Amino acid sequence: MKLFAYAVRDYDELPYLEALSKELGFEFGYTSEYPSMSNAELAGGYDSLSIITNPLDAELLARFHELGVRGVSTRTIGYDHIDLEAAERLGIRVANAPYPPTGVADYTIMMILMALRKAKLISAAASYQDFGLTGKIGRPLSSCTVGVVGTGQIGEAVCRRLAGFGCRILASDPYEKDALRDIVEYTDLDTLLAASDVVTLHAPGLPQNTRMIDAAAFARMKEGVVLVNAARGVLVDTAALMDAIESGHVGAAALDTIENEANLYYHDLSRKALPNRDRAVLMSYPNVIVTPHMAFYTDEAVESMVANSCRALLAFSRGDDSPFEVHAS
């Protein structure tokens, strides 16, 4: 196998990639650039392609196919940035790269606690020596009903961590897990939204889930609800969220991902006008935490993502099955 990797970070991913190439016996080339029509030629002579959360549309896939690429793996658990239907038409096999759920689950709990205890407001006020208590009173997690939307691996890990706080946990998922019934109450989404003090999202970014949390969903929620999203930005209608925050109906939000964030992360834009007005507005609210899609970011996760991406591509190159392969339907 000859693998070309785009958007490689030399400070964390590259050492793992170098070690794996020696261990598993494949050649690789790489660039820190994101794939585009202008740099697709870099993949010439390679049969496998590794990317991250950058759009891979039909036109770009066709160009890579012309260059001889027959397998693509994203070094992420999400894969909605790849046109799977176009890939299947071209005969390009596609894989994602699962990683342990612990990092995102821990990060989710951190964001819930920060939102409930108004950590952003307290920290900002302390920076200009406002040490008063006015407007900073928080709420203990143990007193809350928490609604977990999606109980896949990450959602399940979140539920198990929440159980330690003694809060009531509601859950909604098309595929209920018997193993969770001792700590959660499964219910439908509408009931969960109406009953929860905190709603945390862990559903996949599938077309049927796009903007599942819209104006109608916010209207069903409790006054002062806390919304947490460490899953996929497309799950939440950003305009509806901003309306709900400004009206006071949503008491706080903690967001690791938002709509239209492609080509925003993971770049240093500190010297540029932010090319995302929604993010700029959300960051201006004292009760909204916005982090740059890094709930996954632990050493354990990065190693797993690079390794699983490479292993899937090796399987493709041999004509074998891979547990990480994904399909359009």
Same fold, 2-99+298-326 and 102-290: yes
Q: Which helix (H) or strand (E) holds 250?
A: strand 250-255
Instruction: Tell me whether residue 267 is one of the annotated catalytic residues.
Output: no
pTM of the model: 0.90
How much is the pLDDT for 131?
Answer: 97
Mean pLDDT computed over 50-72: 96
Question: Around Cβ 296, how many Cβ atoms within 10 Å?
Answer: 22
Burial of 241-259, coded b for 16+ CB within 10 Å and e otherwise, reads bbebbeeeebbbbbbbbbb
What is 2-99+298-326's CATH number? 3.40.50.720
- For 288-303, the pLDDT digits (tens) are 999 999 999 999 999 9
Contact in structure between 235 and 228 (CB atoms under 8 Å): no
- For 162-184, the pLDDT digits (tens) are 999 999 999 999 999 999 999 99
Instruction: Tell me whether residue 232 is one of the annotated catalytic residues.
Output: yes
Give the rounded percent of residues in the chain with a pLDDT score beyond 90: 91
How far from each other are the two terminal CA atoms of the chain, in whole angstroms? 27
**Residue of 77, 118, 84 whose CA lies nearest to 100:** 77
What is 102-290's CATH number? 3.40.50.720
Instruction: Tell me whether residue 293 is one of the annotated catalytic residues.
Output: yes
Residue 95 in this model has a pLDDT that exceeds 80: yes
Catalytic residue among 259, 293, 303, 311: 293
Sequence-distant (6+) residues with CB within 8 A of 315 are 321, 322
- For 177-205, the pLDDT digits (tens) are 999 999 999 999 999 999 999 999 999 98
Q: Residue ranges of the domains in the chain?
A: 2-99+298-326, 102-290
Catalytic residue among 88, 176, 185, 261: 261
Mean pLDDT computed over 82-103: 97
Catalytic residue among 93, 232, 279, 311: 232
Sheet holding 27-30, edge to edge: 27-30, 2-5, 48-51, 71-74, 93-95, 325-326
